[in-house]
Structure 1
Amino acid sequence: MRRERSLLLACLAGVWLALMSQAAPAQSWFERLVMPGDLIRGHAKLEKDCSNCHLSFSQGAQSGLCRDCHKEAAKNLDDGTGFHGRAPEMRGQECRHCHTDHIGRDLPALPFHHSADWRQTRPFDHSKTAFSLKGAHDKAACKACHAPSEPASAAPTACIGCHRGDDPHKGKLGESCDTCHSPGDWLREVAFDHDITRFPLIGQHVLVPCEECHPDATYRGTEVDCAACHGRDDVHRGAFGKGCDQCHGTSSIKGARLKLRKP
């Protein structure tokens, strides 16, 4: 019995040495045999050679190989920027602690989404990214801003990146939507500093709805003289010209200030 066991071990050792002597091809065949599952779609091209992501007998080397490919995340960790750099728990953490793989082509390596499977659900603190979720953004679905086939860092951070199709101004007011709009209530919480225009709002003008002076969301080229809006209400029928403010104030059209000319 002892002799047969020794012979069996010798045969196994011979097979192993034969495989190892073939170097990379034999190793790839063996690793493919024990691979736990297909890589995600983004890593599919790396699947032919396990050494792209693993070093034999060294789990600790895997994160270094991750950083070699994911240079932006590596830079964030080094500079203290981005999500990886801002989150203190990321420092010294193995990449595989958060990023899964060998889970199939159609599953994400970032398991920060709602799922019935607890292995695919993990809380994510968006305040540590370059775009903190405020107001209605906190209720938006992840896929509304993050395309599954793109890295998380590719998501737009400027308002117009997501809201270009919803822009009622058709780009006429530029792309800095947050200058006037709030993420709490995009339509109701609107604050525009009219003092930066040629027509600061004072008196009763403060209470006038925007569309009264800007029909069809047209802003550029709007007339600023009184007659442009009040011409139809002019009781003088144009007899005193268009400079209504020479006699009338903005608090009330009534009670005109008469300016008598000196003889």
Structure 2
Amino acid sequence: MTLDEILSQVAGGFNLQALSLDNILRAVLVLAVGVVAIKLIQRAVERILSRNAALAPIHRYLRSALSVVLWLLLALVLLGSMGVELTSIIALLSVAGLAVSLALQNTLSNLAGGIMLLVSKPFTIGDYVEIGSVSGTVSMIGMSYSTLTTVENKEIYIPNSQLSSATIINYTRLGRRRMEITVSASYQDKAEDVKAALADAVSQFPTILQDPAPEIRLSGYGDSGVNYLLRAWTTTGDYWDTYYQLLEAVLPAFQRRGVSMPYPQMDVHLIPAPSEKST
């Protein structure tokens, strides 16, 4: 069925001569009952939405969408009560809805992703997150796009359809982060001395949490030295400042304890060639 045929059937369905007093009274009654029912439904939905803070950013959109659907249903019921044939009207609405959905496919996908983000709340404004190859502080959560502000003060706009299906690492949600620093010491230095030097460096920073306590472990043997792993916890807000300051404090702590940091080196042993026997 073509669009012209649907429109002609819709126009043919409106037969004003078929209207009677009974139909008009029935339509007025349906309209009155429908208006009251719509108001009651809207109030009930409003109470439900007001109790859900996660949906606060989209309250206005949900109310508007609900109003459009309810009034459209009331219009269809009203026309049906007046004897109007609804089959063609429903077919026309279906075609229009399909055309709109195809034209707004990406936009609707972003809107659906935005609703999923607001309901599941993998992050909130102010959280530092890593999404794929980008990371930054969440500065805005919109219906279609969300914005990250990087440490270089760049704004990155990410479609919500991508966010809803991406792997998101939230560094802020739990309130604290663990830093890991790997350093090398010479094979000539005792492990106890190296660990004591690293403990001295850690003790300089009150921002490092004692619960969980910092860990210092021998983590491996390299080509030029022994590797040690330092793990320490701090609050999310203090993480980067403490991380870089702790890096700077390791070398002076090694020097005070007489621990040396190795550099890549290669030992070459010369083996004298065997002397030729005289014949």
Q: Which of the pair is proportionally richer in helix? A: 2
Give the strand-richer structure, 1 or 2. Answer: 2
TM-score bucket (shorter structure): under 0.3
TM-score by length of 1: 0.27
TM-score (norm 2): 0.26
